[in-house]
Amino acid sequence: MQEKALSKDPADNGSELRIPATAVSRGIGIGRAVFLNGDGPSPIRHSISADAVDSEIERLQRAVQHSLGEIIELSSAPSPDSAADIFGVHSLILESSSLIPDIESEIRSHLVNAEWAIRNVSQEYSTRQRSAADQHISDKYLDVIDVAERLLNALGGSPESGGGGSDSVLIVKELMPSRLMELAKTAPKAIISEHGGWTSHSSILARELKLPVVTGVKNIEQLIADGDAVIVDGIDGEVIIRPTSGSITQFSSITNNTGLFEQLSPAGNGKTITKDGIEIVIRVNTDAPEIYRQAKDQGATGIGLYRSEAIFDRTGSFPSEDEQFAAYSQIAAATGDAGVRIRTFDVGVGQLAGDKKVFEHNPSLGLRSIRLSLTDQSYFRTQIRAILRASYDNKIDIVLPMISGVDDIFRLRTIIDEERAKLTTAGVSIGKPLLGAMIEVPSAVITANEIAENVDFLCLGTNDLVQYLLAVDRDNEAVADWYQTLHPAVIRSIREVVDAANKANIPLNICGEVAGSPFLYAAVAWARGS
């Protein structure tokens, strides 16, 4: 096997270089470094005459149709369950969003070639997407870049080069979803990427492909050469360059299924129980019925957090009440009695501003989430009506994100009650969803007792909570060392929230990395007094 061959590397002089990284797809990969240049030739600006505009737009439309054909082929080929949803988003970007009309407008207004228009408009779109406050939305900027590169290739650009083979560890700047699907055919050992987050579509696909991936590795080309032996630790997040024989032996013995939660197994009664007999209720965070069905087979019970802003990706604009009703009803039907908890729109003002293109210097602390729902109530009221309608004969609950204190709960309950009364008066059948609050900012931790007394359940949003408690941007690799999920302030805050839920005798859901880490799970168990 390749791992054994590596241990005989004559360059093994007993020294190695270890680089911290962010693990986004678990597993261990050992192989030879292969650099892939994902940057095609940059488009060149060509001026065109007014008479040539129509023919240039026809070129663009032919590229769109060609790209759609490629996407359909990718989504229909044997692939991970989420591939169809992900490439469905790519189809919607081409067919239903404002991307192509804006590119056409760029061609007409500036009299430029299609390639240049694609470059300018896609850069603007991806920049706007990347600046979104919610990581689950900002990570999707790669989808826009992916679609743009596909269009450029269809217009005559050079296709990407092949992968590095089954003994390779591929090194890329950014990993596009469609590129990942192509690379996976060569069965590489692992991938190292400079950019990319846990919630990007590429990371989701990699996890389903069981392909180890780490990101956040800067300037690796200065430290490693093509052909160097390398170990990718996608469990603890590390890259080991020119590893010693001892390291190769150590990591070769580690299976890709190491960890507490991989040892959980559904019992005969459908419950998930650890080997020492402790029952753990595991819910999945997803917006796709297909992914839930897969998670259910592995022991998940219901959806703990449905990120409703994902509907924006599907529609390309703010979804109507009926579009939301259809989406919520579909996901509720998939979960059945296990239920789904729908988080109301956790988006920033820039994502709802349309042509106004509102940009904030610090969107994480700006007009977003519940603050935006209270400021521009039309969006929130539309969503609440859709949820109330979908909850009829379905088990659906509501989660309110970024709650700052109990006053937010009072104001939001008033709006919900008003919309419930309107629908009832109109003779519309509605359900009675429970109401929960996300605890993810310090003020909510401090006032958790008061919040808990006025809701039906709490959700502890640990990813944002760590970020706000420690004043560390979780997407900024330069301060990654300060993002410490086991910081005493984090553990004490968890204890405060657990105590508040216990005192009010209401359920508490744990979301984020705490829910998926064996070490942090132990911290939560301690906070519960177990």
Q: Report pLDDT digits (tens) over 342-371.
A: 999 988 776 665 545 566 777 778 888 899
- Say what the pLDDT of residue 257 is: 44
Domains of the chain listed by start with CATH number:
2-38+161-252 (3.50.30.10), 50-154 (1.10.274.10), 434-530 (3.20.20.60)
Q: How does the average pLDDT of the chain come out, rounded?
A: 80
- Measured CA to CA, the distance from residue 389 to residue 333 in angstroms comes to 14
- Say what the pLDDT of residue 2 is: 36
- pLDDT band with cut points at 50, 70 and 90 for residue 85: low
- The catalytic position among 136, 201, 361, 487 is 201
**Of residues 159, 155, 200, the one with CA closest to residue 182:** 159
Number of helices followed by number of strands (H, E) in the chain: 23, 17
* 425: helix, strand or coil: helix
The answer, yes or no, to whether residue 114 has pLDDT greater than 80, is yes
Strands 457-461 and 435-439: parallel
- Say what the pLDDT of residue 527 is: 55
- pLDDT band with cut points at 50, 70 and 90 for residue 292: confident
511 catalytic, yes or no? yes
> What would the mean pLDDT of 119-129 be, rounded to a whole number?
83
Listed in sequence order, the residues at least 6 apart from 8 whose beta carbon sits closer than 8 Å to its beta carbon are: none
Question: Which range has the worst mean pLDDT, 64-68, 245-249, 314-318, 366-370?
Answer: 314-318
- Say what the pLDDT of residue 355 is: 46
Contact 82, 208 (CB under 8 A): yes
- Say what the pLDDT of residue 3 is: 36
Instruction: Flag whether the pTM goes above 0.75.
Output: no
288 vs 340, more confident: 340
264 vs 156, more confident: 156
- Measured CA to CA, the distance from residue 284 to residue 290 in angstroms comes to 12
Per-range mean pLDDT, top range of 4-18, 127-141, 195-209, 259-273: 195-209
The answer, yes or no, to whether residue 511 has pLDDT greater than 50, is yes
| C-beta atoms surrounding 89 within 10 Å | 20
Three-state DSSP string of 101-138: HHHHHHHHHHCECHHHHHHHHHHHHHHHHHCCCCHHHH
User: What proportion of the chain, given as a percentage, has pLDDT over 70?
Assistant: 77
463 vs 424, more confident: 424
- Say what the pLDDT of residue 321 is: 94
393 vs 297, more confident: 393
155 vs 358, more confident: 155
The answer, yes or no, to whether residue 10 has pLDDT greater than 50, is no
**Of residues 491, 492, 493, 473, the one with CA closest to residue 483:** 473
- Measured CA to CA, the distance from residue 305 to residue 300 in angstroms comes to 13
Per-range mean pLDDT, top range of 32-41, 131-140, 242-251, 470-479: 242-251
136 catalytic, yes or no? no
Question: Which range has the worst mean pLDDT, 69-78, 167-176, 296-305?
Answer: 69-78
